[in-house]
Amino acid sequence: MGVTYRRILLKLSGEALMGELSYGVDPAVVHGIAEEVAELVNEGIEVAIVVGGGNIFRGMMGAAAGMERATADYIGMIATVMNAMTLQDALERIGIPTRVQTAIAMQEVAEPYIRRRAIRHLEKGRVVVFGAGSGNPFFTTDTTASLRAAEINAEVLFKATKVDGVYDSDPKKNPDAKRFKSLTYSHVLQQDLKVMDSTAIALCKDNDIPIIVFDLSVRGNIKRAVAGESIGTIVGG
Ligand code: UDP
């Protein structure tokens, strides 16, 4: 396989693990993702993952129900740790050594986030899954993905979603919606296009990290993206 990127940060939303379910985790879907990640690792690609928690709990959901936002966000962050451990389990069952590092200390179940240690794991061919977001309320796991990508010197951020890229309008509502092949960070920010939240985009912009948005449900897409094939939408300078 041709390889364009050697170290990648893959952002998986919590919903990506849910498949067709309305809550929680579909083990078959997680297994499929693990297999795709394993293919990369076996090719010598260094893979770090930031996983969301929307399949279990979102801070905004709690806040809307009257909870204090910060408390709700901490619950959301803890939800991401469950997903991180689920991914670890799925990866290790197929022989891929994986470490979970959390931004909120939970040393009985995972390592604390230590940047240099994370890089060392990657160099040794282990997948690193970052849980508990950034450890700060009022942030998202998309922003965490940009932050960790910058910290570990990832060459690219893969934003795996349920749509095959970024459109000029909602493709579900507008049959004439057009998909962008490439976009600049400024365009995304100015037009408020739904790629990631603006903090996440700004962080990638400042650190020159390209973002590739693609459909995770198409088998083999992660590999295609690593090979530099034009799938989805690429956001860059
Ligand atoms: N969260 C947070 N700080 C972070 C990352 C996440 O407070 O740095 C909380 C926030 O409440 C968010 C929840 O964790 O709603 C789950 O993450 P997110 O909604 O980003 O997950 P995704 O949409 O990717 O499944």
- 16 alpha carbon – ligand 1 mean position (Å): 14
Which tens digit of pLDDT belongs to each residue from 140-197? 999 999 999 999 999 999 999 988 999 998 888 999 999 999 999 999 999 999 899 9
Per DSSP, helices labelled H in the chain are 27-42, 59-64, 69-93, 115-123, 141-151, 185-191, 198-206, 221-226
What are the structure tokens assigned to 211, written together?
């973002």
Rounded distance between C-alpha atoms, residue 60 and residue 100, angstroms: 25
Q: Name which residue sits closest to atom 6 of ligand 1, judged by CA.
A: 140
- Quote the pLDDT of residue 172: 86
Q: Are 88 and 121 in contact (CB under 8 A)?
A: no
Query: At which residue do the structure tokens 């061919």 appear?
Result: 125
Ligand 1 binding pocket includes 137 (Cβ within 6 Å) = yes
Return the residue matching tokens 């956001």: 235
The residue behind tokens 């050697």 is 6
Kind of pairing, strands 46-51 and 166-167? unpaired
| 184-218 residue pLDDT tens | 999 999 999 989 999 999 999 999 999 999 999 99
Would you say the ipTM is above 0.85?
Answer: yes
Ligand 1 neighbour 165 (Cβ under 6 A): no
Complete domains list, the chain, with CATH? 7-236 (3.40.1160.10)
Q: 62: Cβ below 6 Å to ligand 1? A: no
pLDDT in tens, 80-124: 999 999 999 999 999 999 999 999 999 999 999 999 999 999 999
Residue 58 annotated in ligand binding? yes
Helix (H, G, I), strand (E, B) or coil at 167: strand
Residue 180: per-residue pLDDT: 96
Separation of CA 43 and ligand 1 centre (Å)? 31
- Rounded to the nearest angstrom, the distance between the alpha carbon of 61 and the centre of ligand 1 is 11
SS3 (DSSP) at 142: helix
How far is the C-alpha of 146 from the C-alpha of 138, rounded, in Å? Answer: 15
Residues 6+ apart with CB under 8 A from 68: none
